[in-house]
Structures are given as structure tokens and as C-alpha cells.
Structure 1
Amino acid sequence: MNGARCTDIVDGHVCTCLPGFTDASCATDINECAPIPCQNNATCTDLVNGYNCTCVLGFTGKNCAQITYVCGTRVCSRFAKCFLTEGNYSCHCKSGYVGDGYTCQPFCRKTQIFVQALNQSVTFNKTNVGETANSQEICSNGRPMASVDCVYGAPAGFAAIKSPSCERTILSTISQIEDTITAKEISSTIAFFKLATKIVTVQDHVFEVIDGLEIILQVVSRQQRQITTNVMYDAMLVAEQLTNALTSSSNINTIDTTKNKRQKQHLLEVLQNFANYVEIPQDITNFTLTTEQITLQIFKPTTARSGRQLQNKKYSDIRFAPAPKSQHAAEQPVQLVVPGEVIDQAATQLRKETQIAFFQFNNDDLFSSLDRVEVVVSAQIKGYDPATLGKSISLEFSHETKIQREVPVGNGVLKNVVTRTQCSVWDDHQQVWVPNGCELVKNSFPPQCKCYKLANFAMLVDTKILPSAFLMGITTYVGLCLSIIGLSMTIFVFLSVPKLRNRQPTIFLLNICICLMAVCIIFLISGNQIGNRIPCYMLTALLHYFLLATWFWMTANAYTMYKALVKVFQISSKLSGRNAAIIYLVPLAIVLLNMGVTVFNTDIKTYRPDNILFESVYKSRHMCWLRLYSLYFGFLLPVGVMFLINMYFFVAVLAKITCCKKKIQSTAKVRGLGRNFQIAISMICLMGLTWIFGFLMLVAEDERHQTVMAWLFTVFNSTQGLSIFIFNCVLNKGVRDAGRDWVSTKTRKTQVSTTGTTTNTRTTNHYTSSKI
């Protein structure tokens, strides 16, 4: 294999492997990454007869042992100083900046400032650029006396101080909002809301602040005004602080739940509508505003082609990929792409240039739902909200991979964990996450969604723990062991007793027992192979094959009795090799066809080793067995058909035995076939009932019904072999009599042999004495 040269020798051959391969057939690729040759946290990729090191920033060379970045290059932030150390370097932010040295954020130092309006000095603590500092001094009602924004500069510094009167209230501020309100007054009002909601409680009119924001929004909307980015940023801070107040544990106990949910939805709508009126400066195409929990990015779409009239413009796709929550995160938590065709449709319908606003919420506090999500994103185009988009919006949720890795799947847990992911949109009216208009891209990794509407999007991760899995597993293993013992004893009895071995039904029973024993053994082995992909596929196929073969042998047995009693054919005591081969080859063909359609046509094409969310269309994730359509059409359908055929044969045989005894060849034959018929129908009913329970377990939606069906299926399925031994040996009088006769014959032969040996010994002794 792998281009090796084969040399013929006596009684064998020798393979001369190419560099990079080993073992007797040169099938194993030597892993040159073991032991790890790459240094300085580099990533090693195994190649054929070699390896490749992907160096981290600052290192180079085959093994990433050489330092490439020195302090003369721009590896550190421009606001940091670089220090060389032995074999390495380090970055430290300059005075007036904070960060890890690679990213340095300016900040405003703790400052005391005299405020003329207050006629006193106030103190502002150390604050990062882009954040608002509140004074340490507070009013009698608990509100800070003043606030100030920390802005960029050289160095960073505080901007103009806002110090509304301590007597100013939220209600008095709202009452002054009129249509004639100026842009400066809007900015001042929302800035006051930001200051007032810093310590807001239920008694401080949370709901009135939301109503005040809506009144301002209505004024802006009626007059088609635009608001500045600073006003939008303050509105985001107000919304964040109101959300914290609405979701705090102290407020949950005092606010009516229904009203609380309604106000959250109201606040969400107001905040997102504010974004439709933000003015984008002429010289930029997009900007981003970020608070601790909310990120807003607004785009002015750009055309892919220029020099055309508006109706002929083709817009470029817009990608919203907000920064991670933490600067140490390796990837964005979510990416959202709006295709250019959607923007074309909006521009055509609105007949003007438009802008797109994206929100990211780092938690779901504004979404009052029992389904918990980590990140919510939204996309909106002012004035454009069709029921269905012509082309889907695509989303990629990178953060869900971390959630999935934390779910214990496979062996080593007492309870089985099943995880389900669902792409969802927020229903504003029902206030729940629904899958309408969104679908999960099959086997995408990281998980991707396609959505056909503009809305709030989220990825739901539903983790269920199946109850009593440990006890059910113990029951299964004990039952399987008992079944193997019962099947072994059945095979021994029917092969050892000549009267039983030469009967026509024995060949069917022995093959049924052999197939079922293989099923039990495979099932016992498969429990340790759930996490091994290829072995689990093979065990699933073998389990599928031997279960189908069992049903085919039972159907052949029923057909034989049907021909013997109903059609009154003379049946040979031996089954031809051709017929036996057909019985084994037909289920093999079904298994191969099923694998061809699922494994080779779908799984192999979509599988990726790093995709922990991969869902096979052939086998289940939590056991080595079929799933979905592979189970329905590859197993349940043929088993269902054979079950019906068996029942038809048995009804016909039963009618013949009970109604037409005189027409049958002999009474002895009637009794013999009657006993075999009872045993056969008992086996069919047992296995048929087992898989009826299995099917009801699959379709059950209620957890209690599913548990009951699972227990019934487990008990019946794992004790089939023991039941066969009881039906065919213990309860079968003919088998007991034949066995008793065989034991008696063996005993007599032993006694005769012993007597003969004793007589010969005596004769020899007498002859010897006479000679003497």
C-alpha cells in the first residue's frame, strides 16, 4: 500500500515502504509529530515523511525556535514598551494606558474637578476610554451628583461634566419632552436617564424611563430627525442599566411577571428602533458602539459596481462579526452575513439608500424565555421587513462548540446525555424562541443557520439527561448474558439429541439461535465502542445484519409450516444449501444498500474529525445502532413486512389445524407441527412485541411514556435468548421426552459398557488362575 514495493518470497511477501510509512503492509503513516518537535507553543501538522510547524507570533524556523520579532518591529502596541529577555520579549503598556502590552487601552486617571453648578469639587475614579464615570459624591436620593465621559486624547481625558440638579426627577424630565425639543435637549435628557438609572430601583420608575425613551423616539420618528452616535451610546447604556434592574433578584420578587416581560419587550423594541435613526458620518461606511452587554454596528451598504443608477446597483454582502467578549478569546462568538441580494431588494422597495443595523446581546436578559441562550444577534433595515427574504441570511455560532464540549457523551457517565441544537428567531408577540424561518445547516461546524427573515436570532442548545440509564444498562447486560446462556443450551440440546437433530424445524431453530447469539455478543461489545467511529459503524452494520437474518429465518420457518399443513406439500427433512444461502444473502443486500445510501453517499462526504456536532444519518450518537430513515427503511420496514407475512402464515396454519384436521396426512403430524407452530408463533410474537415497544419508544414525545417503552423494550429485547430456551426446551414436552430418552440411552450404554468391562476382567483373572 501507499506506493510500497512488494517482493515475493517463499510462502509470503515483503513490503518495502516509502519514507513516512510503516507496518507489514505499509498502511500506517508514521506520525512525525510524536514526540512534539515544534517549540514555543507552535502547532505541529503531520505530513507524509515529515511535519510542519505553524509558529505563533514572534517565532520562525522549522521548529519555531528562532525569535523573529524584536523591539524594533511593531509587535507590541504603539502605546507599549518592548523589553528583551533571554530568548523572548515582553510588552508593557505605557503610563496612561492599560492592557496586555499587545493591546493598550487609554484611560482617564482618577481626578477631582470643581463643578461650578454644584459649587463644590467632585471626584471621578479611573475610567477607560469610551466609558462614563460617575462622581463619588451622591445626592440624597442615591443618584450621583455628576457624570462625565472619558474620551480619547493625548493623553485621554474627561469631557464636559454633566451635573443635573439633585432635585430633578425622571417624571419631571419626561413631562418636558415636546415636539419642539432640540437635538441638544434630547442628548441632555438621555444623559440624565443614564445618570438616573445608575441606581434605579422599582420605586424609581423603571417603566417611566422606558416610556420616556419611547416618547423621544416618537418625536424623532415623526420629524424624521437623526440622532448622534453619542446619543445612541447613552441610550444603549440606559437600556443595559434598565435590563439589570428588571432582571435583578430583588426586583423579580416585586414586579408582576407578565408586566416585567412586557416591559422588557417594550425596551427591546425602543432600543432597536433608535438604531434606525443614527446618523452615519459622510466619510465612513460603518461604525461600532459597544457596552458591557450590547454591541451595535451600523453599515452603510457599498455597491459592488459603481457608475450605475440606483435601481441597477448590486450591493456587496455585509458581514457582522463583533469582537469576542474577552480580548483573550480566539474567535468571534457569532458571525452574521446579509447577502447583497437582500440589500438590493430593500433598496428597490424603499427607492432610496438605506443602512443596516446589527445588534449583539451578550446575554438573553431582554428575552424573557425559559430557553436560555448565550448570545443573541439581530439584523434590521429601516422600513424593510418582508415576511420572507428572497435569499437567506447565514449565521455561524462559534461559541456553541464550547457548550457541546462540556456535555458528557459516551461511556463513563451514569446517565445518557442527549443534546439538540436549534436555530431560532424571537417571536415578539408570544415572547418565545421559535424555529420558524430558520434552519440548521446539516452537519455544519461550527453550527450554521440559514434564516429567511430579519429578526433577533439565537442558537438554542437543549441538553436532556435520559433517566435511569445506568439501571437500564445493568438490566440489558444481565439479560444479554442470560440470553447467551439460554441460546447456548438450546443449541447444545438440539445438536446432541439425535431425535431432535434430525427434525425439519431444527435447522431453522439453530440458525435463529446462532443469529441471536451473534446479536447479543455484538451488543455487549458495542457498549465500549461508542466513541470509536469506524468500529461503531462496523458493529452497527453487523447488528443490523444478524437481526434481519433472524427475522428471515423465522419467516422461512413459518413458510415451511405453511407449505406442509396448508398446501400439503411433502417437505424434505433437510434445507437445501441454496435456500440457506438466499436467507443469509437477502439481509446482507439490505444492509449494504442501506450503508450505500447513508454512509457512503452522505456521512463520508460531510464528516470532519473536528466536528463534535457531526450527526450521522446512519447511526446514533449515543449507541452503535441505526437512526432516522436508516432505521425506518433499513430495519423497521422489512421487519414490519416480515411480521405481517408471518402472521398471515400462522393464521392460515391455525385455521388448517383447527378446522381441517381430517384432511391432514396423520394425527402424529398434526401434533408435531402443532407444537412447532405454537413455539414459532410464540417466538414471532415475542420479537414482534419487542420491536413494537421499540417503535413506540422512538415516537413517544412524553418523557414518562418514553421511559416506560424503553424499559419494556430493554427487558424483552435482552431476554429473547432465555425465552427461546424456555419455549423450545423447558416447556416443549417432545423435547423433554427426547432428551430424557437420550439420557437414558446414554446411561444404559454406560452401564453395559461398565458391565462388559467387569465380565472381561473376571474371565481374564479366572483364566490366569487356571494356568497357574
Structure 2
Amino acid sequence: CALRCPPNSSCVNGTACRCAPGFISFSGEIFTDPLESCDDINECGPPSPVYCGSSADCQNTEGGYYCTCSPGYEPVSGAMIFRNESENTCRDVDECQHRPRVCKGLSVCINTEGSYTCQCPPGLEFSPEDPRHCTDVNECTSGKKPCHSSTHCLNSMGSYECHCRPGWKPIHGSPNGPHNTVCEDVDECSSQQHQCHNSTVYVNTVGSYTCHCRQGWEPKPGFWDKQMNTICKEISFPTWTAPSGIKSQALSHFFNRIQDLGRNFSSASVLNTVQDLVQETGDLLETPGDLKTLPFSEQHFVVTNLLFGLENVLRGVSKALPKGSFTFNSSAGIELSLEVQVPSYRNITLIQKQTKMMLTWDTVHDSGDSGLAVVGLLSTPGMDRFLVEAPLVLDAEELTTLREIHMGLLQETSHILLSDVISAFITNKDTENLRSPVTFVFQHEEDPALTVITYVGLSLSLLCLLLAVLTFLLCKAIQNTSTSLHLQLSLCLFLAHLLFLTAIDRTESKVLCAIIAGALHYLYLASFTWMLLVGLHLFLSARNLTVVNYSGINRFMKKAMFPVGYRVPAVIVAISAASRPHLYGTSTSCWLHSEKGFKWGFLGPVCAIFSVNLAFFLMTLWILKRKLCSLNSEVSTLQNTRMLTFKATAQLFILGCTWFLGILARVMAYLFTIINSLQGVLIFLVYCLLSQQAREQYRKWLKRIRKTKAESEKYTLSSRTMSDGCKHSE
């Protein structure tokens, strides 16, 4: 062959080369280029006409190929290799039969087409550490809650069981253990399966039972109520002995009756016992007999014994009462309010006359007592007669406050108890370490007659002050320095009285109440300041009857009255508000708080003003008295002097000098209220109705009103006449 053929080829006709079967060159099967080579044909690679059939794989070889069964399959004929689909006898191999231990542990082999899988049985799952190893699933803690709520779950290897809880049983037709078990409560009381002591009553609970002390019974020491092992004893009458060293037949008789009540006490008669306790105490206070002859110190000792002893006995015997609210009264006026309940966290409020007690039941409950909780509020009128010269016991802060208010007069003053003695008691004897505070609200009764007088008098004053303001503004004939002063006084009093009537009790909002209190503080101080200026003007006017210098008075008053009348009160209120703003407004009224002498921000200037005005009043009377003695027969001068004398007398009320009645004893309260609530009426009477010029102006206004009314009626009549004439002409 003239041409040298490459490997895997043979010479053809001496001039060309042919690739062997299964090989091919770049030019094709036959080529003449000596540089070409024959390369293997990949019959298994695409595109390829070779198809081995399903479940078989094509395997390429040098210059050829063959077919084999895919992994997981085997030939039925036994021949491991074949050439085409017609020779394919491949079928699935069942690895689970050929290799029984192919899956580890508790996993189960599942054959698949051409392969197999390992699965965990129900109740098991593959371990995160070894994905081929099965571990138990705890259905009871997996959060799925497979059991009914009336059962509890018990886990087992690969499963779980639902069993009835203690004190429960399967419902009719439901076995105990399977997944669908449903249970119901066992009533130990009706089935007599309880073990309660005969001193208790058994109470069935869900899944169990408890033993309760009977009404009027309490747990024995070392036992707790409402337990399975509770043992109770009947509540006994607490010991109450007479104070030692006191010789009194009335007191001995009282304690003999108390001993009789104790001997005859039983839980069934607890209501009568409490009523008898209240009645016996009331009888002793109403008719004390020889107790009143005892020295004061022994009377104080007896009262202390009565208060503590009565509270202790009531605290003890009240536990025998059934749950609920009770009220007991004596003919002497003693009142007892009781509340008996199971301890809880809800609030409770007891009201006794003008006293309110607010607390929570967990505060009342004694931590060492599991029975009923008792709270009581006791009002004992008549105790005050045994507390004459009793020392006033206060803590350091309260004593300091009281001394500030009364300016150090406590040492020279004996204290008198004006209100009833109010005492409170609760089941918990450790009142020094309560879980939460107990709040007491004390209200003093207001005299309804004084309230009516105040509102009627102030309402009448408002009307008169309004008329006075209109008169001072519109009546030009009487406008001078005096009427200017009284105009400002009337305006301030009108605004102060109006705010007092409408907003003194608006305590819902602390901020609003403080603003109202500040406004009242300023308006009343301004009113008193204008009273001072009116008094000064009256004194200067009387003095100038002898000096004759009216122009000097007017110039001085015009310059001084507005700065003094409005700025001085503003400065006082500003200082008070800046120093203690939280003391504006109280829990009962929108006025100044009495704490730390704060009220003296009002009382101090007021006392100073009516003291100065009283001095002006007395000096004015002295000047007028001298003038009347030295006057000649000049009529006009005599008339002016007499008018000034009358006005000076009226100023005793108008200038606020009668406000000193407010700091005296209660017997002056009516006189103080009547005079000062009618202050506006006096201003209108003296400076408007008794003024000849003002009366003349009133007459002119009335004539003008009548004339206008008559003209209006005449015009109306004329219009009707013309209208009737037009109708007749038609």
C-alpha cells in the first residue's frame, strides 16, 4: 500500500485507508490524507441509535459498546451484558429480601423500583445524630396534646396511653388507657370515699375534695382550713377582763354581763351576742354611773380597755357569722358595720356615718388564718365624756404642723373631742405590717341651715352687687373717687362670690381645682385690699372735715388705688403659688390646704386688713364726735357730718371688720354667715338706695321706661286703626 494507514484502519486499493468498525476519521470512513487518524465512536453518547431498553444502561468500549442492567435491576436470562433492547431481560431487585439487615435498628425496609428506603414505624422518628437510626417520639411532651383534657398522657416506646387522673374515672363505655379515653370527676362526697374529720364538712372539687370548717368553727392550732386533713373546733368567746385597780359598780356590772355573754355563747347565737355586746357598751356609755366620779386618768384607762376589749371580742366572735354584710345599732347611738367574706383580692369599702374605710380583702386576711376574713367599723358616741384632758398623741410631723397652724398655743390649750370615737378592726392583728395601706376618709357634717343661709345670702348679694356695679357705671351724678373704689370692690366681690357658688366643690380634676383655688385666693384678697382702700378713703374724708383738703385726697387715691388694689394681692398669690403650688385645692373643696400653715397666706393679710380698718373706723368716729361738738348751726355742714357718721357706722360691716367673727367659737357661725354673705346687699343699700342722687337717677330711668312703653302702645294702637280703615275702604 502506497499510503501508510494509522492505527485502527486498513489499506484499501493501495491508495486509501479505511477505519475499522467502531472508529471514524475526520474525512469519513475512507480517507487518503496520511495525517488523519481513526477515533472511537461513542455509541452510547448522543446522538446515538443505540437503545438498550428500560432499566438498562449503555456502556461504551474501544471500537464498540454493550448494555447492562441499571443498579437495582438484574437480567432474567442470566447474561450480564447484551447488545440491544430485544436482548433486555432486566427486572427490579428486591433489596429488602436479598439484604434483610440493610436498615439499622428499628427502621423498616421498603422496596422501591430500582432501590429501597428505610422508614421508622409509627411513634418513632429518625435520630438527628444518625438519620438511619429510629428513636421514640414522646407524644406527651411534643405539644400535640393527644389525650383528652380529662386524662393525663403516659408515653411508651412507639406509642402512648391516656389514663384518668387521680379522683377521676372513665365515663360509661370508655376504657381507661386507649387514646380515646374520656374521664369524669369522682364525687368522693356522695360516694363516701372522703376521709374528712367529723368536725368538718366535705366539699367535692374537680378531681378531689376538701374538708371545710363548719360555720362558727375554726381550724385547730396546727391545721389549715379547706385541706383533706382539716380538724376544727368551735369558735370560743375571747377573754375580756376588767381593768385592774378600777373600783366602779357600773363597770363591774358591765363585765358581769360580758361574762354571761361569754358563758352562753355559741355559733348559732352569734348574731344575738354581737347585738348584746353593742347594746351593753352603749348602755354603759349612756349611763356611766360612778364612772364619771373617777379621776381623769382612771377614766382614760377605762376607755382604752373598752375600745381594745370590744374590738378584740368583735374580731373573734364575728368569724362565726355567715358571709355577708351586717349592721348593728344600740339605743345609745353606737353603730357597728361588719363585712365577712372569703379572702380575695377585690376591694372593700365600709361606710359608717361620716367615715369611710377603704382596703382590699388580702389586707384583711391573716396569713396564719385560712378561715373567713372580717373587717369592722365601730362608731361609739359618748366616749368623749371620758376623754376630758386626755393628751393629744401625734407623731412629730403632725405635731409640727399643728403648732404652725395654731402658732404654738398647744401648751396652753386643753383639747376637746368634738366627734364620735371611730375605731376599726380586721382579722389580721399585725396591723403594723399590712400588705397594702388602709385608707380612712373622715367628713365633718355641715350644718344644713348654714349652707342654706350661705347660698341664699350670696345669691342675693350677687344680684345687689350687679345692680351696684351698673349704678356706679351708668349714674354719672354720683361718679367720684368713692364710687370708683366701691365699683372695684363690688366687681371683685361679685366675681369671688360667683366662682365660690359655682366651682368651690369641683374637685374632680386636681389641676382645675388648683386653678379655682388660686383664683378664689386672688379675688378675695383683692376684695379685702379694696376694703382697705375704702376704709382709708373714709378716714381721710373724715379727717379733711377739719383740714378741708379734698383735692389732695382725690389725687392720692387715684394714683394709689389701682396699683395697690390689684398688684398687692397678685404678689401674695404669686409667692404662695411659687412656694407651695401643690397646696392649692383639697380633697373636699377648691380652697387653700391647711398643711404647714398655708392658709395664713390668706388669713394673715385678711386679719391685718380688718384690724387696720377697725382702727380707721374708730378714728373716724372720734373725729366725727369732735366735729359734731364744735359745729355751728350751718345746716349743710351738719348734714354732711351726719351722713358721714351714718356711712362710717355702715362701714363696720362693709369694710370686712365682721370677718373676725369667723375665727370665734361655733356659736358665732350663724351671725358671721348672715352678715358677710349679705355684704353686697349693704353696699347696694348704703351707696345706691340711700344716695339721693342715685335715687333721682333711678326715677329718671323709670320715667323713661314708662314713656317708651306708652309710646310703643300708642304706636301699636295707631297701626291697628289704620289697618282697620284700609279693610273698610276695600
Structure 2 length normalisation: TM-score? 0.43
Structure 1 length normalisation: TM-score? 0.41
Rg larger for: 2
